[in-house]
Amino acid sequence: MAFVPYLMFPGHAAEAFAAYADIFGGTVESSRFSDVPPGSGMPALPQEQMGWILHAQLDTPDGARLMGSDAPPQFADPTEPNGQVQSGVSVAVSRPDEGAARALFDRLAEGGTATMPFGPTFFAKGFGMCRDRFGTHWMVSVG
């Protein structure tokens, strides 16, 4: 059994998944809310949300998978602080050597925030944490 991260975005999933495909390689398959057939039982959405991503899946050349979608704010969990902000989870990724891990960290942190700069730790030759420009939290390590 494998666990697959499923990321939620407030309207920019297409941009995020295009960036992740560029960073990690692979292809993205996706559908939009406008693809939902009439009579499906899906609640109606405002026209400006119809082009949002209903489901996206990135499969990378090394066999990893990342999934996600846009989350219309009207369906937000009222118990989640700040609506749909990705605040309680990080996606952990490792690379076999320090150079590859550092390069991945730098790409993910570009335009975002490095919450723990990449560097050596007592448990890894290299480790860092960041929140990318789309709001996704990442933990990158040498492994």
Domains of the chain, start order:
1-73 (3.10.180.10), 88-143 (3.30.720.110)
pLDDT tens digits for range 123-140:
999 999 999 999 999 999
pLDDT tens digits for range 97-117:
999 999 999 999 999 999 999
More confident position, 97 or 78: 97
68-71 contacts: CB < 8 A, separation 24 or more? 68/5, 68/6, 68/7, 68/8, 68/9, 68/13, 68/16, 68/17, 69/6, 69/7, 69/8, 69/9, 69/13, 70/8, 70/9, 70/10, 70/11, 70/12, 70/13, 70/33, 71/8, 71/9, 71/10
pTM: 0.90
pLDDT tens digits for range 21-66:
999 999 999 999 999 998 888 888 899 999 999 999 999 999 999 9
